[in-house]
C-alpha cells in the first residue's frame, strides 16, 4: 500500500467513526444549549436596545436642532423595528417533549431558522437604524457648523462589522446543519 492509499484509508475510517448517530439525550442537550444561547443573545440585545432608546430619546429632548431630533426619533423607531424582528425571526422556540426523530427535525429546523435570521440581519437588524443615524449625524454636524465625513465612515464600518459577524455566525450554524444532515444520511 502506498502512503496515499494509507492516508485515504485512515481518513475513511476516521470519517466513518466520527459519524455515529447522536443519542437522543445528547441531541436534546444540543437543542437546549442552542435555546439557551439564543435566549441569552436576545436578552442582551433587548437590554442594549433599551439603553439605545433611552439615550436617543434624551438626544431628541435636549438637542435643539430639528434634524437631530428627527434623526434621534427615527433611530428609536428603527430600534423598535429591530426588536420586533428579533422576536419574530430569531427567538428561541420551545423544544418538543418527544425525543428522537422529531427532536432531530426540530433542532435542525431551529438551526436553519437562526442561520437564516443571521444571514438576513443586514435587512432587519442594521437597515432600520440607518435613516435615523444618517439624519442624526447630519443634524449634529449642521448644528455644529462642521462637516465631518469620518463619522459616517466609522458608522458604516461598525455596521459592516455587525453584518460580517452575523454572516460568520450563520456559516457556523450551516456547518452544524451539514453535520446533522451527514449523520441522518449515514444512519438512514
So where are the chain's domains? 23-187
How high is the pLDDT of residue 27?
77
How high is the pLDDT of residue 72?
97
Contact 177, 112 (CB under 8 A): yes
Encode pLDDT of 91-123 as tens digits.
Answer: 887 776 655 557 888 889 999 999 999 999 999
Q: How far is CA 20 from the centre of its chain?
A: 29
pTM to 2 decimal places: 0.76
Closest CA to 19 of 184, 187, 183, 185: 183
CA-to-CA distance for 127 and 138, rounded, in angstroms?
17
Amino acid at each position: 500500500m502506498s502512503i496515499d492509499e494509507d492516508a485515504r484509508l485512515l481518513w475513511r475510517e476516521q470519517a466513518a467513526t466520527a459519524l455515529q448517530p447522536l443519542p437522543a439525550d445528547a441531541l436534546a442537550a444540543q437543542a437546549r444549549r442552542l435555546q439557551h444561547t439564543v435566549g441569552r443573545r436576545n436578552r442582551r440585545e433587548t437590554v442594549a436596545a433599551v439603553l439605545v432608546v433611552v439615550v436617543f430619546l434624551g438626544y431628541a429632548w435636549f438637542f435643539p436642532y430639528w434634524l437631530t431630533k428627527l434623526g434621534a426619533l427615527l433611530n428609536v423607531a428603527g430600534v423598535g423595528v429591530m426588536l420586533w424582528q428579533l422576536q419574530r425571526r430569531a427567538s428561541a422556540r420551545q423544544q418538543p417533549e418527544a425525543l428522537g426523530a422529531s427532536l432531530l427535525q426540530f433542532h435542525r429546523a431551529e438551526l436553519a431558522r437562526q442561520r437564516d435570521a443571521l444571514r438576513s440581519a443586514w435587512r432587519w437588524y442594521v437597515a432600520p437604524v440607518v435613516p435615523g443615524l444618517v439624519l442624526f449625524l447630519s443634524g449634529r454636524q449642521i448644528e455644529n457648523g462642521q462637516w465631518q465625513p469620518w463619522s459616517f465612515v466609522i458608522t458604516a464600518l461598525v455596521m459592516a462589522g455587525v453584518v460580517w459577524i452575523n454572516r460568520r455566525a450563520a456559516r457556523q450554524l450551516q456547518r452544524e446543519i451539514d453535520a446533522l444532515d451527514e449523520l441522518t444520511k449515514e444512519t438512514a
